[in-house]
A and B are shown apart, each in its own frame.
Chain A
Amino acid sequence: MGVKLLLENDHIEGIRYYDTYRKHGGYRAAEKALKMAPADIVEEVKKSGLRGRGGAGFPTGMKWSFLAKPEGVPRHLVCNADESEPGTFKDRYLMEFHPHLFIEGLLVSSFALGSNHTYIYIRGEYAWIVDILEQAIAEAKNNGWLGKNILGTGFDCEIYVHRGAGAYICGEETALIESLEGKRGNPRMKPPFPAIQGVWMRPTVVNNVETLAAVVPIINMGGEEYAKIGVGKSTGTKLLSVCGNLNKPGVYEIDMTISVEEFIYSDEYCGGIPKGKRLKACIPGGSSVPIIPANLLLKTAKGETRIMNYESLSDGGFVSGSMMGSGGFIVLDEDQCVVRHTMSLARFYNHESCGQCSPCREGTGWMYKILKNIEYGKGKISDIDLLWDIQRKIEGNTICPLGDAAAWPVAAAIRHFRDEFEWHVLNPDESQKRNYGLAHYADPIHVPASA
């Protein structure tokens, strides 16, 4: 069993409610933190090596130390609970089942950053979670953890839940800020960065739900101890939401030392692939990161065992690796069609482009159209090169990274599964009746007995 910090109390009935949470050590980190100097809390988070859990993996302590502190200007902590990256549903789990852990993390972080008004921007579809959070906030407030002069420290803090209304792009931090201001979710040009001018042009820190929850164990155990969990720059624990073709889809906490193979096949985690089917491909970190075939997933191109952490998953770069991303782990079994799956993701990005930049707005539409043609047996071989060309023209040429996020899945699919695309084009009739299958993608070395 790996170390668990966030889901340690997952089995305790009623942990969702204040009294139970408190009885099991809840709000201890808040007690401790409110006696510390805010700068020392930032220091602990720096020492912990915690990296943002929203996708980019930026060091949280460093981000916090960039926050501008001009005299007389309020600062804000905004929590990114937009969670819309396909394959990702871990923040939902934390908020739904561990709301007080989350609120405690928000409180400690608000204190560290000097945010008296903290906002949770939650995706609109998580409507029932808004109620859970508001109830937890009310409970925390009734018990003196929020409101005015908390624990007699002179620190005031209110936390508000702000519901979005269905737009993936509002997960991008500057789009989120625009949306919080009551506007369309159009990402802003950077600089200025939110740390200098964020919501209402005030200094703002935007952090993911899981990032802020992780501040609780960091304060409880100390940054140095936290940093001992995991390996290298992948410190602490990470939540993964696993889906696609797996026996036990759901949310798991790992300590970033286990192998991908163990993660997929062991009963403690995903429990293998249904009906004993074989692994074809995986998108390990949410739909935006490159898809990799089974043989490159379990072992790196150098033949080393791939481990579930930031460094190992990205070993080989985009040529033979992928990314940890948001922790949305999507598995495709041998009967799945990579072309169809890529088409579905292309439709998603096309639907979600905010439309500000032409490479993203037009490019995502073209890619979807071309992929649809190939999928439905109307494609040409030259379309595959055209797709490659379009994704290249989007990448790096847009205001926000959604353009890249739309380009990478297409690029990786063509890079690793070109023969499957060609087969679709050359066998328009047959490809409507059956899928391509495994070809050379399956792990040729061995398939575990538990599979």
Chain B
Amino acid sequence: MSIRFTEERLNKVNEIIARYPDGKQKSALIPILHIAQDEFGGWLDAPVMDYVAEILHILPIEVYEVATFYSMFNMKPVGKYLLEVCRTGPCMLNGSDEIIDYIKEKLGISEGETTTDGLFTLKPAECLGACGYAPMMQLGKTFREHLTKEKIDQLINELRGQAKN
């Protein structure tokens, strides 16, 4: 895979850089890492980070130290669908532990692991701002809330179906 943004993406990137004062283009780093992660396979490989450094005229180390700090940036490959289930206090009070256990059993993976077909990664998360709609998970750009075992079954089926198409 060649690590280059498409023309369209590059325009978006430049638009983001222009939001910050001249010479402060580093401010665009996190927003651009999001775009890079989406674009280049769901995680941040070193060559991807080097490319972002090049775009922003900063040192690669400045990108690495930021990417490793934030939990939404994946430093290892993840499955096509990243199931991030919240397990902090309020979600725990509403049964998040059972949901996590159920997913583990259903998919045959432990926390942090990916299914052998490369479809699912389970990642326990800390409070995602949906505590009143617990238990919940983040899936891509969306939240799935009020989870039950049945909803997990449905979701997994739905995603398996999607992946086939």
Contacts and interface: CB of A to CB of B under 8 A. Distances in A.
Interface of B: 19, 21, 24, 26-31, 33-34, 56, 58, 62, 65-66, 69-73, 87-90, 92-94, 126-134, 138, 140-143
Contacts of A166: 70-73
A352 B27 CA distance: 22
Contacts of B138: 125
Interface in A156-189: 158, 160, 162-168, 179-185
Contacts of A181: 24, 26-27
Chain A, interface residues (CB within 8 Å), range: 35 or more
Contacts, number: 145
A187 B81 CA distance: 33
B127 to A, nearest CB: 4
Contacts of B65: 184
Given A83-B129, A341-B92, A344-B89, A182 B72 contact: no
B130 A89 contact: yes
A200 interface: yes
A378 B28 CA distance: 47
A182 B127 contact: no
A87 B90 contact: yes
Contact of A128 (B27, B30, B66, B141): B141
A218 interface: no
B129 A124 contact: no
Contacts of A85: 127
Given A242-B132, A243-B93, 6 more contacts: A117-B21, A119-B19, A165-B73, A179-B30, A181-B27, A344-B87
A271 interface: no
A351 interface: yes
Contacts of A244: 89-90, 93-94, 131
Contact of B132 (A84, A123, A200, A243): A243
Contact of B89 (A124, A241, A242, A345): A345
Given A86-B89, A164-B30, A165-B34, A243 B129 contact: no
A330 B134 CA distance: 12
Contacts of A168: 126-127
Nearest to B24: A200
Given A89-B132, A180-B27, A183-B66, A341 B72 contact: no
A184 B72 contact: no
Given A127-B141, A184-B66, A352-B126, A165 B72 contact: yes
A332 B131 CA distance: 13
A89 B129 contact: yes
Contact of B33 (A117, A165, A287): A165
A88 B141 contact: no
A249 interface: yes
Contacts of B56: 182
A165 B132 contact: no
Interface string A202-236: 00000000000000000000000000000000000
A182 B30 contact: yes
Majority secondary structure of chain A interface residues (helix, strand, loop or mixed): mixed
Contact of B131 (A119, A124, A328, A351): A328
A262 B92 CA distance: 25
Nearest to A202: B21
A309 B30 CA distance: 37
Contacts of B94: 243-245
A160 B30 contact: no
Q: Which A-B residue pairs are the 3 nearest by beta carbons? A: A165-B70, A166-B71, A249-B132
A244 B134 CA distance: 8
A182 to B, nearest CB: 4
A128 B142 contact: yes
29 contacts: A85-B127, A86-B88, A86-B89, A86-B90, A86-B126, A86-B131, A88-B129, A89-B129, A92-B130, A124-B70, A125-B72, A127-B140, A162-B19, A162-B27, A165-B72, A166-B70, A166-B71, A166-B72, A182-B26, A182-B27, A182-B29, A184-B65, A200-B24, A244-B89, A244-B94, A249-B131, A249-B132, A330-B89, A344-B89
A166 B90 CA distance: 18
A364 interface: no
